[in-house]
């Protein structure tokens, strides 16, 4: 199965064989569909040239415009029907959001995958463009969660909205006390978000009246994991791919 996770920052392609992710690729998302089109075709052809036989394609997306583009390109390239999570593949969890349709499909898929793979109750922490916290109850029901701006988004906001703070490369700091402006920003981002994650995990656990398992996923997982430890013991960067395969 070819699993395609379309986010605000990246489009990730995962090859799933018998429930296991055997290869994954990432493409920077852009609003310019003319620029995006040849990159997607190139990556799909790369996977085909490696000998993968695609029998099913599933898309999970939070960017509707890119969903339509990718679906059309896949149909043209592979001549295969594409299934979209939410439209063709509902996530079979009771959803306690006041308006269930407002929950991002990636959040639901991640929660569903974590539930099936790691048990309940649980919290999923997804470190992407936004950092999301999603709670699953003892009954296996999706309760809701929290959303905060992600690491890169926060760094870009500091650069764009201030006169003197520089644009920085995102990398883990060595010390919480920064001795340059760049190190100070990195310290604030990584140690600050680490404390935020730990605090949110504790707060949600109290609200859930449980000691939930915690699963971390998302593009900044490897960079952030040591700043959140020991609160998070389960790391699964392929959680959404696995969730699409389970669906």
- What pLDDT band is residue 34 in, cutting at 50, 70 and 90? confident
Predicted pLDDT at 206: 97
The catalytic residue among 28, 32, 88, 106 is: 106
Q: Are residues 22 and 137 in the same domain?
A: no
Predicted pLDDT at 22: 96
Please determine, for residue 153, whether its predicted confidence score (pLDDT) is greater than 90.
yes
CA 237 from centroid of its chain's CA atoms? 8
Average pLDDT, the chain: 94
Q: Are residues 233 and 122 in the same domain?
A: yes
Q: Are residues 111 and 174 in the same domain?
A: yes
- What number is the average pLDDT over the span 93-121? 97
Please determine, for residue 20, whether its predicted confidence score (pLDDT) is greater than 80.
yes
Task: Give pTM, 2 decimals.
Answer: 0.94
CATH code (residue 225): 3.30.420.40
Q: Are residues 214 and 133 in the same domain?
A: yes
Q: Which residue has the tokens 């916290």?
A: 133
Lowest mean per-residue pLDDT among 180-189, 199-208, 222-231, 235-244? 222-231
User: Which is it for the CA torsion 100, 87, 58, 45, positive or negative?
Assistant: negative
The domain containing residue 231 runs over which residues? 100-246
- What number is the average pLDDT over the span 35-39? 90
Q: Are residues 11 and 132 in the same domain?
A: no
- Whether 106 is a known active-site residue: answer yes
- What number is the average pLDDT over the span 148-166? 94
Q: Which of 36, 51, 84 is the last residue of a domain?
A: 84
- What number is the average pLDDT over the span 199-226? 95
Q: Are residues 27 and 137 in the same domain?
A: no
Q: Which of 119, 109, 103 is nearest to 3 (CA)?
A: 109
Q: Are residues 104 and 152 in the same domain?
A: yes
User: Which is it for the CA torsion 150, 151, 153, 157, positive or negative?
Assistant: positive
Q: Which residue has the tokens 């960017």?
A: 63
DSSP string, 97-121: SSSGGGS-HHHHHHHHHHHHHH-SS
Total structural domains within the chain: 2
């Amino acid at each position: 199965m070819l699993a395609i996770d379309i986010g605000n920052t990246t489009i990730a392609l995962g090859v799933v064989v018998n429930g296991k992710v055997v290869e994954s690729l990432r493409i920077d998302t852009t609003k310019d569909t003319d620029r995006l089109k040849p990159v997607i075709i190139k990556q799909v052809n790369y996977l085909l040239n490696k000998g993968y036989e695609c029998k099913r394609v599933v898309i999970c997306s939070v960017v509707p415009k890119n969903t339509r583009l990718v679906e059309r390109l896949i149909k043209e390239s592979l001549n295969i029907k594409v299934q979209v999570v939410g439209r063709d593949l509902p996530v079979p969890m009771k959803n306690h959001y006041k308006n269930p349709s407002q929950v991002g499909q990636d959040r639901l898929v991640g929660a569903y995958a974590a539930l099936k793979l790691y048990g309940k109750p649980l919290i999923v922490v997804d470190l992407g463009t936004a950092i999301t916290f999603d709670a699953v109850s003892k009954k296996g029901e999706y309760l809701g969660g929290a959303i905060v701006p992600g690491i890169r988004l926060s760094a870009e906001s500091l650069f764009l909205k201030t006169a003197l703070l520089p644009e920085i490369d995102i990398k883990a700091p060595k010390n919480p006390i920064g001795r340059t402006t760049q190190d100070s920003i990195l310290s604030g981002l990584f140690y600050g978000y680490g404390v935020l994650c730990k605090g949110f995990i504790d707060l949600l656990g109290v609200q859930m009246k449980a000691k939930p398992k915690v699963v971390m996923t998302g593009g900044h997982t490897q960079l952030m994991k040591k700043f959140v430890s020991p609160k998070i013991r389960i790391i699964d960067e392929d959680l959404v791919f696995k969730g699409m395969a389970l669906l």
